Structure 1
């Protein structure tokens, strides 16, 4: 059996950027998965995460019924990074203060980096343009955290506690509008969470092939090949895993684009070496 890779979990609090955060983590050569904020902490920890990122979200931490974070998450020895709403949830759960200041910030905003820039923001300019989207603000950091940045509407715009492997930012490092955003994210992943950048997209193929091989064993496999991308990729992965144990079936129903049946019957088979059974069912579908 293959050994599952430890993921960075991106906990989605309704953010439009949750998938983008996961993508940026992968661009840093670290494997990531998006999970809902409703997932129990025990299930998150069962995934043996290398780190957890709390995403932004449209709610206010003060609204009744707004998404919350289980304080048990912070009892676990897992590196945690809060972004925007996730930053505020983290601050409040650990004893900091989140205040409806009435001075929300939206869009491109100057961020003032303090001289105590710490690990996360080290070597950044004294002022950096970042992307903000918040109404409430962290006004007091939790005990043990060092405040490393501020803005006009966020007295605490970044904080960190490297000893406990925790950090957070009010802005969105995952978007292109934030200068040095990817650098901030990788500083958390590499320097605070201590993750080695060893993952590449090729790992997805290797991991899936191993899982398929384990599941199939010495059995035979049949795959319905439609001519579309999804079934073609699925068949290619299974074929890489089990070879001639796979037989694909392609039904020509007469409703494909001109030349597509020939592409499947000739080009796809030539490229992959897959065993293919072709069924000409045009009369049955069109009569």
Structure 2
């Protein structure tokens, strides 16, 4: 099985983290989201080609704010910090992060003030999407500022030698005009990824893994009709066929016609063995006199 380049996304709680993963995958590079607390040995076992640090809703000054293992900066792979991820990076290296009197939220004009491979092929200024209460007041000597905005003197920074970059804005949202190009520059020019990943290849790989794991055993799947259990069930069925039986429980709290829709999709369309259990009486009896 061909080994694909992988991007590790450490999640600090941003509402856009899933979007980062999707944008990277749209560029045909595989990405996985893991919690910010992932230990360094697990990171090294994952063997990422690069790491992306997501944004997050908290301030780096809060005592319980999320902090990744600083050893990530010592494993010699490119790192891109976005918003909170950039602020935390600057702070780890001795920079000064301050609370802003004016919260910068929404579209703003970014001005490139120093050449960077992150901005190769881009115009000197363009609109981006900001969403932050803190700002980087001062960088340590490890970094140089490469972009600014009206209310943010350090809107982006870099350490070319260590290939560490920080963006105070969100390249993953469509409001940032050249966000795709910035991510592309990071993936291909800086991290030297190959655009070889796609969904059909991923499905084939997972099907083979499932077959190896299950062998000739029988499998049951608890099917809710939601995205997660549905995708998992279809994927397993693709791998082992009628060795899989799905079980769907009608708990009396389903949407109108939901049970029939699940039966239609899984029995008639996918031809997956499905057992439907009528659990309405049991569930509704247990919920009697329960208030919320």
TM-score (norm 2): 0.80
Give the 5 Å matches for 1:236-255.
Answer: 236-246=234-244
Superposition deviation, residue 50 in structure 1: 1.9
- Equivalent position of 2:84 in the other structure: 85
- Equivalent position of 1:186 in the other structure: 184
Structure 1 residues 272 and 152: alpha-carbon distance in aligned structure 2, compared to 1, 3 A threshold: closer
Give the 5 Å matches for 1:26-37.
Answer: 26-37=25-36
Matches of 1:18 and 1:75 in 2, distance apart?
Answer: 24
Give the 5 Å matches for 1:177-216.
Answer: 177-216=175-214
Superposition deviation, residue 81 in structure 1: 0.3
Structure 1 residues 169 and 251: alpha-carbon distance in aligned structure 2, compared to 1, 3 A threshold: closer
Superposition deviation, residue 136 in structure 1: 2.5
Structure 1 residues 269 and 75: alpha-carbon distance in aligned structure 2, compared to 1, 3 A threshold: same
Superposition deviation, residue 257 in structure 1: 6.7
What is the aligned-residue RMSD (CA, Å)? 3.5
SS in 1 for 2:189: helix
Matches of 1:145 and 1:194 in 2, distance apart?
Answer: 22
Give the 5 Å matches for 1:6-85.
Answer: 6-85=5-84
Matches of 2:222 and 2:134 in 1, distance apart?
Answer: 52
Superposition deviation, residue 121 in structure 1: 1.2
Matches of 2:57 and 2:26 in 1, distance apart?
Answer: 25
- Equivalent position of 1:138 in the other structure: 136
Matches of 2:240 and 2:220 in 1, distance apart?
Answer: 12
The superposition leaves residues 36-73 of structure 1 with CA deviations (integer Å, 9 ceiling, x where unpaired) of 22222332232222211111112222233322233211
The superposition leaves residues 166-220 of structure 1 with CA deviations (integer Å, 9 ceiling, x where unpaired) of 2111111111111111111121111111111111122332232122111111323
Superposition deviation, residue 97 in structure 1: 2.8
Give the 5 Å matches for 1:271-286.
Answer: 271-272=269-270, 274=272, 276=273
TM-score (norm 1): 0.81
Count, aligned residues: 282
Structure 2, unpaired ranges of 5+? 283-292
Structure 1, unpaired ranges of 5+? none
SS in 1 for 2:25: helix
